[in-house]
Structures are given as C-alpha cells and as structure tokens.
C-alpha cells in the first residue's frame, strides 16, 4: 500500500521509517467488536471463511480493549450502554480508530426513541461510517479497507484533529465515604 516510494539503491531498498510503520499498522489492525442485534451477526459473518477478514490483516478480534486499535460499533447503542462504550474506547491503546457499522450506530436507524443514541458520533470520534441496515459483510470489508487507507496515508491522527469524547451521562448520586463507620447502640466504634 504505502511502500511504493521505496527506491532500490545498489541492492538495498530505502524508504522512510514512517511509511514502513504506517504500512505495518494498516495491515495488522486488531478490532474490538461492540456488536448488538443484526449488525453483530453480519460482523460475525465477516470473520467467517466466505468473506475472510484475515485477508486484510484484521482477523485478530480482541475482546480486551488494551490489545485493540480498531473499534467496530455495530448495531444500536442505548443511553445505558454509552458510558460502557466510552470506557472501552478510553482503554484502547493509541493510535485508535472507530468504525460505525450500520444505520443504528450511525444515526439511530428506525429506533427514534428516548433510550437509543441517535448516532455514536455525538459522544465519540468516528473515522468511517459503514452504511446499511444491516450492512453486508462486503460493506464492512470496504470500511476496513478505508481505515487502512487512512492509516497508510495519514498515520497517527494529528493532535487536535480528533474530537474529544463527550459526556454521555453524568452520575446523579454521591458515593458514601468508604469505609462506612459502624455504630452500635448509637455509638461509633
């Protein structure tokens, strides 16, 4: 992808270190799936032998955010799930990218209700939108290739370019101090 600029010089190939690093990152994405409903089924089908996401170096689905660099949010996200999704995103290592898969993750889809987030981009930065309801595995593969092009051409996201996380829900309770004092017969111990 990005090693076309390599020039042979007396039996050696020279290129910029940045290009080699971007090429390696683009071809070894480790997705963190966050899938619900029908989009989750299509995401699983993408890993099957018929579509074979491993051709693009993204077969190592990680369910640990600290080992992932690509989050695929597939399906609808509710208000209760958004803080969890943001927490997972914050735990991912830098550099990290996000794919919003399907109409529900991108715009809320047909679920125009108070409990459904009308697009995850309100609360976290999204790099690629994969359209469809649900999108076919081929469309997700096209989204992964779009992420690869972004990584290969731009490398690390520049400082200040990515929008920071927005607060989804603020806690409405005040936690009690720990440890809680013990009283027996009205006297503190």
Q: For residue 177, is it within any domain?
A: no
Q: For residue 99, is it within any domain?
A: yes
C-alpha distance across the termini of the chain, in Å: 69
Range of the domain at 152: 3-168
Q: Is the peptide bond before 30 cis (omega within 30 degrees of 0)?
A: no
**Tell me: the pLDDT tens digits for 157-184?**
655 566 656 554 444 555 556 666 677 7
**Tell me: the pLDDT tens digits for 114-137?**
888 888 988 889 999 999 888 999
With cut-offs at 50, 70 and 90, classify the pLDDT of residue 156: low
Task: State residue 19's pLDDT score.
Answer: 82
Percent of the chain at pLDDT above 90? 23
Q: For residue 37, is it within any domain?
A: yes
CATH number of domain containing 163: 3.40.50.12280
Q: For residue 184, is it within any domain?
A: no
Domain count, the chain: 1
């Amino acid at each position: 992808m990005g090693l076309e600029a390599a020039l042979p010089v007396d039996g050696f190939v020279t290129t910029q270190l940045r290009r080699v690093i971007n090429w390696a990152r683009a071809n070894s994405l480790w997705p963190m799936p966050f899938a619900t409903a029908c989009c989750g089924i299509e995401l699983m089908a993408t890993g099957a032998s018929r579509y074979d996401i491993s051709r693009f170096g993204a077969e190592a689905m990680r369910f640990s955010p600290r080992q992932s660099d690509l989050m695929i949010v597939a399906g609808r996200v509710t208000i209760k799930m958004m803080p969890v999704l943001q927490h997972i995103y914050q735990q991912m290592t830098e550099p990290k990218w996000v794919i919003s898969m399907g109409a529900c993750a991108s715009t809320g889809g047909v679920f125009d209700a108070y409990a459904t987030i009308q697009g995850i981009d309100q609360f976290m930065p999204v790099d690629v939108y994969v359209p469809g309801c649900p999108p076919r595995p081929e469309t997700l593969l096209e989204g992964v290739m779009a992420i690869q092009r972004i990584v290969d051409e731009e490398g690390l996201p520049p400082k200040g370019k990515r929008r920071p996380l927005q607060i989804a829900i603020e806690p409405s309770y005040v936690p009690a101090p720990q440890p809680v004092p013990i009283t027996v017969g009205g006297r503190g111990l």
